[in-house]
């Protein structure tokens, strides 16, 4: 048997999955990673723990099969920023996670001259704490690294760069991850001098930008895969788009994880958004033009279920939320807007904080559980509406993946609130599958995009059962609840 391996390094865990020729999972291993919260709004990971978890899951997955691994692909949590010593390879600080908000002051400072959209025409992104460039600037300033970085003695990168360095010894990043830094020009696909100057990040510390699907070199830093070509790297949401075989303009998907991420393929020309969406690189195959996507990034969806479990203790495990929410027909008029670290797409409001609105004594924990599920669906509706406005393409169905798709009630709610069918594929591991597909294409394990498309099969389908007038009435209430989150932080 021959397999392609995918390392899926996410926000809460690392996984290694082996896929066979049909795109089916042959083996999987997973390890959780520690979340560090040194202050309110600060979120960190240990780069050393990330690497050790990758070593462990690769060994675990390989122990479950007997066969040859022909290529390795990487997919990763995006925007999370690592800094390490160029000579020793030792991390110089914990990684700053994409959810981290410590750069709020810098964002306000940069936005004072030109607003939050100051650089959008170059990088496709608004000024926000979300992205890697401001995190690099914070590390430069607070670790006193500027002189060393300018001399090339320090390496900056997102998690893909850290893993590629450990695996191959090369300091590289792919176009999808580079497009999430606020430092890459969307047109040239190279670091932009104006952006580097504005954010104060030395080019000498940054990785080389490479295609998403190409042979980067053999594995040298992982005994179980020694000599296997590392042949792909994609940010997790772009990998899921690729794994869902959304190769044509107008095709899109939503991934439900810690946050949720709705992406729409817009082809080889970037579509700049003025509705609060992100313009990002979807993928670049070796020797071909890049394809682009519009993205709506929602910070808190699955994490809201974790909050109900861990902070409020309304449930003892995440899978309890479905029967609890199903025990009531609606939310009893309650709405939860989980703006724990501000609102992301399509609002981009750093000053927002979470609210529970519409509370009465009638509301029970079952109503709050259902409101938590609806919060994910309403946030997705806001992003979908913005996407249609920007791209002029209406969704006819939504392909979905991620952990929350196991919740049938959640998927039905999503279909009701969007008013279109929601479809889950037979292989739910689409993020890892996308990285595997990109790596397999680079080494000829799969011959074409058409071969990959033929692998995609539907597992479940949900269709709208909510009347349009009821949907719009409740959407108006949701938007009213969102308005209550604003201007909370001065």
H or E stretch covering 410: helix 408-418
Question: What is the residue-wise DSSP string for 92-151?
Answer: SSPEEPTT--TTHHHHHHHHTTT-TTTTHHHHS--S-TTSHHHHHHHHHHHTT-HHHHHT
Question: What is the residue-wise DSSP string for 453-472?
Answer: HHH--EEEEE---S-HHHHH
Closest CA to 94 of 38, 173, 55: 38
Q: What number of other Cβ atoms are within 10 A of residue 470's Cβ?
A: 11
291 annotated binding-site participant: no
130 annotated binding-site participant: yes
The 3-class secondary structure across 416-444, one letter per residue, is: HHHCCCEEEECCCCHHHHHHHHHHHHHHC
The pLDDT of residue 166 is: 96
pTM: 0.86
Residues of the chain with pLDDT under 70: none
301 annotated binding-site participant: no
11 annotated binding-site participant: yes
CA separation for the pair 338, 266 (Å, rounded): 29
258 annotated binding-site participant: yes
237 annotated binding-site participant: yes
Spatial contact of 85 and 154, defined as CB atoms under 8 Å apart: yes
Task: State the average pLDDT for the chain.
Answer: 93
Closest CA to 65 of 3, 16, 121, 7: 3
pLDDT in tens, 54-88: 999 999 999 999 999 999 999 999 999 999 999 99
124 annotated binding-site participant: no
CA separation for the pair 286, 221 (Å, rounded): 24
63 annotated binding-site participant: no
Q: 3-state class of 36 per DSSP?
A: strand
The pLDDT of residue 414 is: 97
236 annotated binding-site participant: yes
CA distances 246 to 165, 250, 252, 380, Å, are 29, 8, 6, 18
pLDDT in tens, 138-155: 999 999 999 999 999 999
79 annotated binding-site participant: yes
238 annotated binding-site participant: no
CA separation for the pair 348, 190 (Å, rounded): 26
477 annotated binding-site participant: no
């Amino acid at each position: 048997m021959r397999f392609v391996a995918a390392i899926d390094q996410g926000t809460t865990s690392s996984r290694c999955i082996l896929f066979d020729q049909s795109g089916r999972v042959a083996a999987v291993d997973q390890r959780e990673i520690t979340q560090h919260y040194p202050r309110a709004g600060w979120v960190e990971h240990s780069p050393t723990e990330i690497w050790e978890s990758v070593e462990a899951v690769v060994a675990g997955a390989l122990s479950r099969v007997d066969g040859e691994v022909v290529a390795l692909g990487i997919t990763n949590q995006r925007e999370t920023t690592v800094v390490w010593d160029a000579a020793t390879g030792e991390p110089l600080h914990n990684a700053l996670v994409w959810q981290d908000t410590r750069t709020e002051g810098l964002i306000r400072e940069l936005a004072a001259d030109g607003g939050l959209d100051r650089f959008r025409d170059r990088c496709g992104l608004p000024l926000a704490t979300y992205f890697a460039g401001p995190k690099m600037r914070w590390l430069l300033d607070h670790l006193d690294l500027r002189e060393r970085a300018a001399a090339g003695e320090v390496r900056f990168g997102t998690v893909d760069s850290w893993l590629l360095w450990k695996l191959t010894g090369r300091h590289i990043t792919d176009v999808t991850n580079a497009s999430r830094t606020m430092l890459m020009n969307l047109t040239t696909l190279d670091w932009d001098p104006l952006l580097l100057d504005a954010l104060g990040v030395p080019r000498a510390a940054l990785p080389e930008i490479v295609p998403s699907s190409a042979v980067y070199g053999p594995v040298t830093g992982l005994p179980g895969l020694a000599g296997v070509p590392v042949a792909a790297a994609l940010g997790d949401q772009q990998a899921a788009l690729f794994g869902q075989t959304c190769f044509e303009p107008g095709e899109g998907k939503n991934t439900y994880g810690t946050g949720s991420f709705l992406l729409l393929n817009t082809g080889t020309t970037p579509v700049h958004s003025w509705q609060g969406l992100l313009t990002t690189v979807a993928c670049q195959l070796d020797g071909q033009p890049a394809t682009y996507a519009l993205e709506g990034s929602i910070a808190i969806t699955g994490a809201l279920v974790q909050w109900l479990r861990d902070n409020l203790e309304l449930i003892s495990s995440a899978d309890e939320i479905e029967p609890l929410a199903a025990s009531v027909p609606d939310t009893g008029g309650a709405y939860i807007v989980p703006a724990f670290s501000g609102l992301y797409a399509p609002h981009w409001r750093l000053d927002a904080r979470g609210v529970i609105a519409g509370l009465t004594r009638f509301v029970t924990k079952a109503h709050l559980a259902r409101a938590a599920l609806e919060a994910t669906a309403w946030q997705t509706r806001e992003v979908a509406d913005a996407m249609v406005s920007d791209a002029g393409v209406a969704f006819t169905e939504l392909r979905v993946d991620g952990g929350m798709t196991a919740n049938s009630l959640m998927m039905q709610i999503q279909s009701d609130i969007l008013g279109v069918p929601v479809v889950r594929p037979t292989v739910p591991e689409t993020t890892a599958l996308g990285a595997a597909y990109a790596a397999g294409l680079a080494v000829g394990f799969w011959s074409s995009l058409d071969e990959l498309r033929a692998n995609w099969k539907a597992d479940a389908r949900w269709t709208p059962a909510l009347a349009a007038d009821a949907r719009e009435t409740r959407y108006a209430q949701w938007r009213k609840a969102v308005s209550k989150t604003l201007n909370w932080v001065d």
